[in-house]
Structure 1
Amino acid sequence: YNAGDGTITLEGQGQEKTFSVEIGGFTRVHFDVYGFETTEQGQEFRSTWDINPASHDCTYVPVPAAVFLTGLGVGFVGWLRRKKLLTDRTGKP
């Protein structure tokens, strides 16, 4: 895969590594693919890392505790504002 222009070619040589991975306690797992590419430029060799750009397929799910804390904070701010408005109207704390 060429990240520069988005083309896929089957030319060239390389190594393919196969890993056996066991995951527990998760409903989804995401892996990123990295490639180490070496090219010959004249009498020198140049090596670069290539990253799989298709890693934007993750689904972001909010943590339930964060949603709860946000709701609690918004409710608390509303309660404080209401209390201040009621205090201003009646003149009593």
Structure 2
Amino acid sequence: MGNRDIPVILYDNSYINDKEKDLFIRIIGMRNVLVHDYLEIEKETVYRILTENLSDLKSLLKKYMEFIMILYCFSAGMFCVDES
């Protein structure tokens, strides 16, 4: 199992929707470019991608934090209520 499998698993188990799955896969792709081709990529390109997609990143981060809280509550044997 690789990083690209994680969004598919989350999607298949209804933790994220199709749009979030596709965004997550693109983020993983960008991470791979940054890690493996960091000498080739221009910092202006990274800055542009981040600023143009900041709202998507924040939305996805919120979703992950909710998922982490669910896992934490489950592992601690607690019942957690969504207060949003």
- In the superposition, the TM-score normalised over structure 1's length comes to 0.29
Using CA pairs under 8 Å that are at least 6 residues apart, name the structure with larger relative contact order, 1 or 2.
2
Structure (1/2) with the larger strand percentage: 1
- In the superposition, the TM-score normalised over structure 2's length comes to 0.32
Larger radius of gyration: 1
Structure (1/2) with the larger helix percentage: 2
